[in-house]
Every structure is written in structure tokens, then in C-alpha cells.
Amino acid sequence: MKNNIGHNNPPKEIRLTDGEIIILDKQGRINLKNSIIKKLPRSVNEKGDYIERDYNDSERVGLKVRVNRGGSKTIWFRWYNKNIKNSDGSFGNFDKIVLGQFPETKIEAARSLVDRIKHGIKTGTDARSTIEANKAIPTFEEVVALWKKDVMQVSNAFRDSTKNDFEYRMRAWFYLEPRDKKLASYVLANRAALNIKSKQVHEITHDDMVKYHRVITNKPSPYQANRIMDDLKLIVKWAMNKKQWKIQENFALLSHTNERNVELSRIETNDPYEVSELKKIRKQIVRQMYIVKTKKGKSTKRFARNFPALMGILAAMFVGRRYRNEILGVPWKMVDDDKIILPKTKNSKKPTTYTINRYLKWILKQCKAYSKYKFAETNSIRYHHKSGYVFPAPRKAAQQHIYDIDKTWKSVLAAAGVRKLPIYMLRHAWATNGLRATGNNIKDIKDAGGWKTFRMVERYAQQDENRNKQTSERVANFIATGR
């Protein structure tokens, strides 16, 4: 069999390894796709020996895929070089250069590189210089490492908790090393769509990120998929300032209407707690605050071991602030008579305050009594009612204040017989019920809850409106039909 694809007498078709027949154009060229390249067969001659065979791309003149005798596939480019000196002293002949090996180099990246080579030839740049410049562009994984080193690790804008959350998400969905076995199997099955870290950063397309986002959406949660895209969007925006990396667009910037999970965000996935449910949670916390022991007819009351966690839950319920960053880490020196002053928050680097209402004042009173009792017992500074923390950690830890209250939260829900939702839903419950209490005063709720823009609060209002509409429809249907 002659290697004559693209020549004067080209074959009309080729048979792939799975038996599929591909029809070639009049010049013997084919619209090369990664799925087709993967199935290109090895060729044999009349003697039965394996031989090399080239397939020409119909989309870029000169771009070829060579199936080698061993079955490996090389993507290369052939062009007419006017600067080559021939043996007879004349100038001009065909030149060629290898672009990469498939599947490490995809056909889309090869076409993009061919475009840059052709543009360079027109402007007097040698093709091999273009290739070397292309090799200097880092992979997405290398870009992320540089961003973490030059931005995240040196900026005061990132709290330790923010960094930890970022690393947790990235380990599973960017580095593709989840700890959970079931999740690891899912990642392995979808590795083709998820493995964006190994691509050069200028070769990643917007469509690649849409597929990447969709795969994450289908497994853990739509909200987490959105958070990961927010992380990557921030990194790509920073990388675009490096002109030598040739990033044409922020490929991680997905539209809120058509591509991101707007309709499946946290508040739509789970309805926030109603007032009746919050009342059950509050009563259960009050029951668990103290441990009463009876001995020889005498009763003694002691603080429960998880007392700071219980008070932290109550505070999150009545304040509506971010429980981990804006409530649990508050030191007593930031507590005034009628307000709490935060040095910085997620949305502001400047000091921020929130007002102490009468319910929070009661909580602070209980916490102060606890701090005095524990300081007298342990002499640990974190319990001091002036120098320590409002919600001190019961055990010795790197952080002097309590940080993880999920275990207490789950035990309270189980004892109260209330729906099991994540604890951050207390903030959403505060907002939705707050809108009802204030007659949909979005601005006041936004300011009191510490939201940066109106967008999130407006979604709470819209969700509440939709729920009321559904309730109205159900009642009307029951009156009309009796069912």
C-alpha cells in the first residue's frame, strides 16, 4: 500500500480500528479530530511489514498526523521555507517540524500552534523560534502554583480558613486526588474532562471549562462547582497580565444565566429553616447548655463541655453573620457595650461592626460567665473574659477559639427532630426570615448581614416570593378540587 494520502491519486476513504469508515475529500484530506486520531490504524506494505503513514488535516494546510510503525502518533507540520539553501545554490524547499505526540498534544492545540507559526513566518520569525516560545508557556498546574506563591501566600486578603477551603477543593477537583474512594472512582471515570491541569494555559478553551464545570456539578454539589470556578476565574484573571503566556480570554469566566448553576445554588437546593424549626433548635440548645448532677439529695449544675459551640450556634441564629469568620473568632476586646467590631471581614479589609441585639447580649452574658469559670479553673488566657475569646476552644489547639462546631450542630438537630442542613443555612434562614420581618427591606438586611452586593439578598427575596406563590397555588387547588 502506497503512502499517497494527499497526493495526486489519493484514496477515497480510510477504515478506523473500530471498523468505522471515514470518507476523505478530493485531496485525500480529513478533518482530524482527537476521536479519529485515536482510532487511526497502522499500515502495512505488500510484504506485510508495518510502515509509517501520514494523514493530512483538511483544516490547516501542512498539518499532518503520522501513524508510526509501532502505532504511536506524531503531529507535525510541513511548509515551504524560502530560506533553505539547496545543493545547487538555489533557495526554497519544503521544511518540517514536529509539534508533539498524540494524545499529549491535541489537534486543537496543534492547529493553534500552526496558526502562530504561519503568522511568524509572514513577519519573519523562524518557525522553530515559535515552537520554543510555545514550550515556555506553563501548564495550568504551574500557573496555579505560581499564583499561590506570589499572591495567596503573601496577601492579607486570604484568611487561613479561606486557604484551607481552597486547598480542599483543589485537591479533589484540580489535582484530582480526592481522599474519598467513591469520589476517586468518579474522578478517574471522568478524567478526560477534569484533567485541565496538564494543559498549557493558553490552550484551554471556554468549552473545556464548561465541560469541567458540568462534571463537578453532577457529582458533589452545584454550589461546590461554582466555588471552584470562582477560584480558577481569579487565577486566570491574574495570569492574563502575563502577556508572554498568550491567554486570549478568561476561559474560567462562565455566564451566570446559561453556564453556571444559578438555579441550583445552596439556597435553592435546601429551603432555609422556618421560624418553627429555629424555635425547636433554640429550645434544644438551652436544654443542653448545662449538665445537672444529683448526689445525696443535692443538685449541681455545670457547663456542658461543648458550651462554646452551643452558644456559637445561637449567635449565628440571631445575628446572621458568617459563623466561622465573623462570630466564632471574636475576642472579648472587640466586644463593646452595643456592638462588635471586626478588624476585617470576607468583603472588607476595613473594620466592620455589627450591632448587639438583646438576644446576642444574653448569649454574651452566658459566655462571660463561662469564661470566668474556666479561667479560674485552668488559668488559660483564652478563657479570660477580657483578654481571651468569646467562644474559646475547649481543647488546646493552634487556634485559641472554637472553629469546628459541626459535631455539636448535628447532635442538636438530631435531638430536636429538625431537618439536617449544613450549619451555614442559619445565615440563609436569618436572611429569608429577616426579609419577612422587615417587609422585604433588602438594604437593611444586606447591611446587617454583611453582604457585599444586593444580588444575594435579592435571590432570598425571590425565593421567598416563589415559595409563597406555590403555597397559594396549593391552597387554591385544594379549595377548588378538595385535594
* Residue 162, in any domain of the structure: yes
DSSP category for residue 401: B
Cis preceding linkage at 138, omega within 30: no
Between 39 and 131, name the one with better pLDDT: 39
Cell for 279? 424555635
Give the pLDDT mean for 75-79: 92
* Residue 3, in any domain of the structure: no
Q: Is 334 left (phi over 0), alpha (psi -120 to 50) or beta?
A: alpha
Distances (CA, A) of 375 to 9, 72, 302: 93, 71, 14
Residues in CB range of 237: below 8 A, 6 or more apart: 250
For residues 346 and 404, membership in a common domain is answered with yes
Residues in CB range of 422: below 8 A, 6 or more apart: 266, 270
For residues 242 and 321, membership in a common domain is answered with no
User: Is the CB of residue 418 less than 8 Å from the CB of residue 277?
Assistant: yes
Which residue type is seen at 240?
A: M
For residues 330 and 382, membership in a common domain is answered with yes
* Residue 482, in any domain of the structure: no
Distance from C-alpha of 367 to C-alpha of 310, rounded to nearest angstrom: 10
pLDDT at 265: 47
- Which of 230, 264, 298 marks a domain boundary? 264
**206-252 confidence digits (pLDDT tens):** 999 999 999 998 876 777 888 899 999 999 999 999 988 888 899 99
Burial class (CB in 10 A: 0-12, 13-18, 19+), 1: exposed
Tell me what percent of the residues of the chain surpass a pLDDT of 90: 42
Distances (CA, A) of 426 to 24, 257, 459: 62, 27, 16
Distance from C-alpha of 119 to C-alpha of 235, rounded to nearest angstrom: 29
**103-143 confidence digits (pLDDT tens):** 888 888 888 888 888 888 888 888 888 777 777 888 999 99
| CATH number of the domain that residue 57 is part of | 3.30.160.390
**88-112 confidence digits (pLDDT tens):** 888 888 989 898 889 888 888 888 8
Whole-model pTM: value is 0.52
For residues 121 and 163, membership in a common domain is answered with no
* Residue 179, in any domain of the structure: yes
* Partner residues linked to 22 by β-bridges: 14
* Residue 318, in any domain of the structure: yes
User: Is the CB of residue 141 less than 8 Å from the CB of residue 195?
Assistant: no
* Residue 436, in any domain of the structure: yes
Burial class (CB in 10 A: 0-12, 13-18, 19+), 196: buried
User: Is the CB of residue 434 less than 8 Å from the CB of residue 445?
Assistant: yes
Distance from C-alpha of 280 to C-alpha of 402, rounded to nearest angstrom: 24
**184-199 confidence digits (pLDDT tens):** 999 999 998 999 998 8
For residues 322 and 394, membership in a common domain is answered with yes
Give the pLDDT mean for 384-399: 88
User: Is the CB of residue 335 less than 8 Å from the CB of residue 368?
Assistant: no
User: Is the CB of residue 315 less than 8 Å from the CB of residue 360?
Assistant: yes
For residues 281 and 201, membership in a common domain is answered with no
Three-state secondary structure string covering 422-448: CCCHHHHHHHHHHHHHCCCCHHHHHHH
CA atoms within 13 A on the CB side of 125: 14
The number of domains in the chain is: 3
For residues 206 and 172, membership in a common domain is answered with yes
CA atoms within 13 A on the CB side of 343: 9
- Which of 240, 264, 288 marks a domain boundary? 264
Q: Around Cβ 375, how many Cβ atoms within 10 Å?
A: 19
For residues 221 and 336, membership in a common domain is answered with no
* Residue 460, in any domain of the structure: yes
- Which of 217, 243, 264 marks a domain boundary? 264
Cell for 419? 431537618
Which structural domain range is residue 339 located in? 275-468
The three-class DSSP label of residue 221 is: coil
Residue 263, pLDDT above cutoff 70: no
For residues 255 and 284, membership in a common domain is answered with no
For residues 387 and 315, membership in a common domain is answered with yes
Q: 83 falls in which pLDDT band (50, 70, 90)?
A: confident
Q: Around Cβ 480, how many Cβ atoms within 10 Å?
A: 8
For residues 413 and 284, membership in a common domain is answered with yes
For residues 230 and 188, membership in a common domain is answered with yes
Distance from C-alpha of 77 to C-alpha of 62, rounded to nearest angstrom: 5
Give the length of the chain.
483
* Residue 481, in any domain of the structure: no
Residues in CB range of 458: below 8 A, 6 or more apart: 442
| CATH number of the domain that residue 284 is part of | 1.10.443.10
Backbone angles phi, psi at 335, to 5 degrees: -100, 120
Q: Around Cβ 357, how many Cβ atoms within 10 Å?
A: 13
